[in-house]
Chains A and B, each alone.
Chain A
Amino acid sequence: MTSESVLTVTDMSKSFGVVRALKGVDFELRDGEVHGLIGENGSGKSTLTSIVAGQQRADAGTVHFLGRPWSPASVNEALDGGIGMIVQESGTVPGISVAENLFLGDAGRFVRLGLVDRAAMNREAGRALAAIGIDAIDPRTPAGALDFQTRKLVELARVMMHAPKVVVVDETTTALSQHGRETLYRLVDEQRARGSVIFISHDLEEILAVCDRLTVLRDGEMIRTFEKSEFDEDAIRAAMIGRNLDGHYYRADTTATAFPQVLLRATDVTVGDKVRGVDLVVRAGEIVGIGGLSHCGMHELGQALFGAVRLDAGNVVVNGKRIVNEQRAVRAAMGYVSKDRDTESLSLTASISDNIASAGLRLLGRGRGGLITRRAEERYVAGPMRQLAIKATNDRQVVGTLSGGNKQKVVFGKWIACGSEVLILDCPTRGVDIGVKQAMYRLMVQLKSEGKAIVMVSEEMTELMGMCDRLLIMKDGTVAREFQRGPELTEMEIIQCMI
């Protein structure tokens, strides 16, 4: 039974403009397996699965599902046919109810005499939610009123209620808490009995734990499929980036270091009930990590340090300047990388050059009476583009067309170019592939050695442990505990104080 293939992709190609996202990919999914797909951003994982799940169409190649040719016109058609996908970004619609979300694009099935029978829809929705073990959600609640994780679960229910033969899980777990993950893993496990799962994740550990087989994609090509017996982290990593990663992925040293000079001093920072009386001192050349569960207030603290939210009490002083808003922060040589990169840190329709130059326009005009010439701008932008190895045809390329990793490099470039001394990084490696991640970490180490101060907010415990001189764990808006960098620090200990 397990060796029978349910889905075969042969020689599939797909281009977006000049970018070739898939180049003749072959892929086989067996019945009853959880098949991992892994690869750097832009390697083609999502393109492959979105074609299979009806979100878009291939330019060339064939797909066979259960022995028949397969080319669904829409997500709903694919779902009806037996393939459902849970997408990376939020797939729920905030303005309508949970029930309506569950039957998105499919309200037609409740139509009686031309009208939609809302009560029946709600009933059906309640059943679907209960079926995957979440009964705390009222189907009539507007989806926008739910938190991100619950919305993900709604999406999960939306797919699972069709009892699909194949479920595609596309990097969903990054958004989920421990409880949410457990629900997902349970469902993935149960799906083995009914069919198969394609599981996409950046998290190698996770993928190794969950999957039976895994396929590595790189630059739109299929590199290799690993059987469970062949699972080997280094080999997989090497396949992913096409070369062997050198030893230290994170920082090499294990001792906390910093210059004596204090660059950032925050006292009694209070933002509503999200952040309550936090004190923080960051020195030059120091990386301070802030971790915790997603709602512990760490993101809000990061915003507060940068002056992006109004403080209800306390103050933040950087380089002797009190930070009351973003302008002051930037003037005080601070930089901020938001966790929502596309919506908060980039102007997607603008060019790389426009984005990188945006924080340094005053610098660019300095000494010329404010005059900004294209030549000066090109020179200004060329530095970070080279330093960060941003992959683009030229600095005029529109940022929206870049891959996630390159986008994040542009954001970093913006702050490096203008000489920021204090950087607030909120989930700087979210949605970024290993290669870029490593580049970011190296950059952080370099900045540290240059005497810059870095506050890194992150949900990834390993990254915090790997990079930080000091680590603050937040819980309910306050700092629960502070850890110093050291070889004896264990993840267990930290997670303990988070919960």
Chain B
Amino acid sequence: MSKIKAMTGNQSASIGACLSRPDVIAAYPITPQSSVVEGLAAMIADGKSDAQMVQVESEHSAMSVVQGSAMAGGRVFTATSAQGLALMYEPYFRMSTLRLPMVMAIATREMTSPETVWSGQQDAMSVRDSGWIQVFVENNQEILDMIIQGYKISEDKDVLIPMNVCYDGFYLSHLTERVEIPSQEQVDEFLPRYKCEHVAYDPQNPMAVDPLTPGEILINYRENHLQSMQKVKDIIEKVDKEFKEKFGRSYGGLIDTYRCEDAEIVVVTIGANVGTARVAVDLAREKGKKVGLIKVRFMRPFPNEKIAEVLSNKKGYAVIDRSVSFGWNSGVLYQEVKAAVSDLNQNLCSISAIGGLGGLDISLNHVMSVIDVLDKAIKEEKQGQLQTMWLK
């Protein structure tokens, strides 16, 4: 039977990982992820998990160790944040392009410089083109659930792509709230043990893994990887349904929508801010504004069709980002959403709002102010991109 417990996001991540029965865990502590490593170490020390834990000397080695274990046929887990992810980049890219399935938790954090240890999504957003699946979650329950689902998605034979479960540093990693923990038996039924078949680093089946590969062959791998990434979209929906049947919770697949049916304008956001935006939408509705909300769950694969479908009959949208896209005067998610709706040819009124950097709060008032600005612009029949809002 499942049980209910008050837990931090990091505890939720380590319990989710533990329930997925990884063979090997390698991780290195970094704020705000450290208590994930500590939690896993404690569970192994107490015999609650039989995973092999490798206490590596850096994130670069953490990702390298799990690559080795995955190639030798294991299910693996690691977690990191910001600079750790940056240090990991070399084997990180390799993990996905070797098509080795795994789940890595990212407690998202602002990138240095300036020196900072606090929240922001710049780390995970900056590596969105590294060939990983990336899900961003709204609360601690979703962290745990998506780690378990993550293995199911990632290990699907039509997928074989590793997955990041990204959750806001501090605002979720250190937030304590109610989480329902499924029983090991339930998880075992949902997620059977992993069997690696496509690469073997095994004397019983000698092969060269990753020989020097010329471009005319390499391009096929990339094409294949991109096609698989598109297939992931269906697998995510499928796994979400299976998960609901087993555990009673559904997250709606690639995106979730809130009060969008009759909405004129839509707030689009990602991560922990979604919860705040839900409250803001309710408040704005009380004030007579026809607002809806799109929760973008997956950055990769990006749910462009779903977003375009929701926005196709709207007047405008506002995207609230916790990261910036250098070179575009906007947030990262804004760019992606804008690209997604470009085929609609509707010149929707849109606004990019950036906040929550370096640990800053995106308050209810911030979200309300974004809604107000967009609502006013719509009433004035403005079109196209409005000036970027900085939520300070």
Partners in one complex: no
